[in-house]
Amino acid sequence: MTTEDHWVGNIGHLALADSALGALLTDILQALAQAAYPAPPAKVDVGLTTKQSVRKVERRAHSEPHLFPSQTGAWLLEVHEATELRNSILHAVAINRCANCGAASHFVHPRSGQHVDRTDEAIRNLTTQMLKLRERGIELAEEIAQRVNAQIVARARAAAEATNEIQNPPQVYPHRSVALCAECAGNGRGTITARLGTAIEIWPREKLRAEIERLKAEQATRSGETGNG
């Protein structure tokens, strides 16, 4: 979607860029929901608009600033402004739409009556802006996930020491996948690369020491048997 040949329907690509940005914000909200550990995560509404998701992330950033990088606020503001412009473009009303061919060159916002630039160039520029915002947002989502994971691990470690039981806390990762069409992949089929998460165990220190000693003794026994053989 970065070259002239790949722009098939400017409004359609704008909508796709907006939905991709919205999906990333939903992903961030789902990661933040796990920050309640050991309490169960709150259900995240995956049907929110991009603008609604921005507001929810903003509220979390205000109440739990330790989970967010310092540049999150500026990024959210840019996303909010981009979604406002996206909405004005999608909902613009054509004033001089031709009754025969449907062509139009003058658009206004239905509520404010202000002129809306709905040219192909304006739509492409906004689409590119939203795609770049998503790329920057992926980096923020990675750091937010790292901070949430660190908080989860700290709480799981405290629970392990308090109960002397092994803990298996969740770990969160942005659900990022990268797709390449057959032409760009160069293999005639296309590819999709997806990231998979990992599982962890948190052991109580005393239990971990005992396990290490057991493994050492087991290894020593095996070494002795090998030497005798």
Q: How do the domains of the chain map onto residue ranges?
A: 4-164
- With tokens 């026994």, the residue in question is 221
With residue 128 as reference, give the H or E element that holds it.
helix 120-163
- The whole-angstrom separation of Cα 47 and Cα 43 is 12
The answer to whether 158 touches 185, Cβ cutoff 8 Å, is: no
Ranges of H-type helices in 49-100: 50-63, 72-90
Model pTM score? 0.84
pLDDT recorded at residue 9: 77
The answer to whether 86 touches 130, Cβ cutoff 8 Å, is: yes
75: left (phi over 0), alpha (psi -120 to 50) or beta: alpha
- With tokens 């990762």, the residue in question is 173
User: Does 6 score more than 60 pLDDT?
Assistant: no
The count of C-alpha atoms lying within 13 angstroms of the C-alpha of 206, restricted to the half-sphere facing its C-beta, is: 6
Length of the chain, in residues: 229
- With tokens 């057991």, the residue in question is 214
- The whole-angstrom separation of Cα 160 and Cα 151 is 14
Share of residues in the chain with pLDDT > 90 (%)? 72
- The whole-angstrom separation of Cα 77 and Cα 89 is 19
Closest CA to 83 of 122, 128, 49, 117: 49
Give me the numbers of helices (H) and strands (E) for the chain, helices first please.
Answer: 6, 4
Q: What is the mean pLDDT of residues 62-82?
A: 98
Q: What is the mean pLDDT of residues 73-91?
A: 96
With residue 177 as reference, give the H or E element that holds it.
strand 177-180
The answer to whether 58 touches 116, Cβ cutoff 8 Å, is: no
pLDDT grade for 226, boundaries at 50, 70 and 90: low
pLDDT digits (tens, 9 = 90+) for 32-56: 999 999 999 999 999 999 999 999 9
Mean pLDDT of the chain, nearest integer: 90
Fill in the DSSP letter of residue 36: G
**69 is written with which tokens?**
């990088």
With residue 191 as reference, give the H or E element that holds it.
strand 191-194
pLDDT digits (tens, 9 = 90+) for 88-97: 999 999 999 9
pLDDT recorded at residue 1: 42
pLDDT digits (tens, 9 = 90+) for 142-188: 999 999 999 999 999 999 999 999 999 999 988 777 788 888 888 88
